[in-house]
Structure 1
Amino acid sequence: MTAALSLAMAPGASATIYTGNVTNAYDGNESHRWDEEQYSELDFYNCQSLHHQSVQITYYRALDFKPDPSYDQKLFTACFKAGGVSVGEWHDLPWGMYYFQIGAIDSGDSNTIDVESWTIDTTKAD
């Protein structure tokens, strides 16, 4: 099976917002890249996995011909509850291209995850 992490842009009045979903993603799957500067908020809505517990998310800055530096890892759990939203924030980011990577799903006890939708908001002003 293949995993899909989709990306779409929805420019807002005061922020750049990227949206997508995750289908059948494994530990190690990466999102598409987007431009980022200073601040980023990643929200996951309606997460589904075998044990309905958690997913680890790592944020990376994409660099050419160098290892990509990682930023704080987040453990998302709220999105597995009915109506819940998991929110991760990253501050003081240098300008660049960024992406997130799916990490351990249900502490490594599940193989795949689906996320009905996710959003990236690049402006803290909201």
Structure 2
Amino acid sequence: MNKLRAALVGSVTAAVTLAGTPAFANWQSSISSWTDGNESRNWDDESYSEIRFKGCTAQYGSEKVTVKLWKAIDLYPDDSQGTHLFTNCYNGSTSVSAGEWTGLDSGSYYFETSTVGDGGGLLDVDVVYVDTTQAD
């Protein structure tokens, strides 16, 4: 019983540590009812990030969304890395929109959505994928 308890405590500790720390890694999620100004979770990166939306749906407004990549900077305003306008992902559940950012400094990054629809709309995305590996 003590071995089982020790294994469980070790697993929970590892999960909490990983969940609280951004990491260099690809990750996948979804979006439900986002509007202008919503932000993703942070991830650590250097050199390259690609953000892909697959299967977008607009609630109110037109079928477009601007995705802005930000570098998180402690004690200073975050630094914008530029934007991409996503429209293709609205063409069906298998349609993808993607934006690439290269030449990034090492650090913590996140993305923000704006002009959802034409502003004031709601965004749903079946699959959000962040790729931090340019080699693929």
Q: TM-score, normalised by structure 2?
A: 0.78
**Partner residue in 1 for 2:96:** 85
Distance 2:45 2:129 in 1: 14
CA contact under 8 A between 2:25 and 2:43: conserved in structure 1? no
**Partner residue in 1 for 2:135:** 125
Residues 5-49 of structure 1 show CA distances to partners (whole Å, capped at 9, x for unaligned) of xxx9xxxxxx83111111111100000101110001110000011
Offset at residue 116 of structure 1 (A): 0.7
CA contact under 8 A between 1:52 and 1:80: conserved in structure 2? no
Residues 59-95 of structure 1 show CA distances to partners (whole Å, capped at 9, x for unaligned) of 0001111000001111000100012100100000000
Instruction: State the structure with more CA Rg.
Output: 2
**Partner residue in 1 for 2:111:** 100
**Number of aligned positions between the proteins:** 112
Instruction: Give the unaligned 5+ runs of structure 1.
Output: 1-7, 9-14
Offset at residue 105 of structure 1 (A): 1.1
Instruction: Give the unaligned 5+ runs of structure 2.
Output: 1-18
**Partner residue in 2 for 1:19:** 28
CA contact under 8 A between 1:62 and 1:69: conserved in structure 2? yes
Distance 2:62 2:35 in 1: 15
- The share of aligned pairs that are identical, in percent, is 38
Letter in 1 for 2:30: N
* Superposition CA RMSD, Å: 1.6
Distance 2:87 2:104 in 1: 24
Where in structure 1 do 4 or more consecutive aligned residues deviate above 6 Å? none
Q: Is 1:69 the equivalent of 2:93?
A: no
Distance 2:62 2:96 in 1: 14
Offset at residue 111 of structure 1 (A): 2.0
**Structure with the largest fraction of helix:** 2
**Structure with the largest fraction of strand:** 1
What secondary structure sits across from 2:118 in the alignment?
Answer: helix
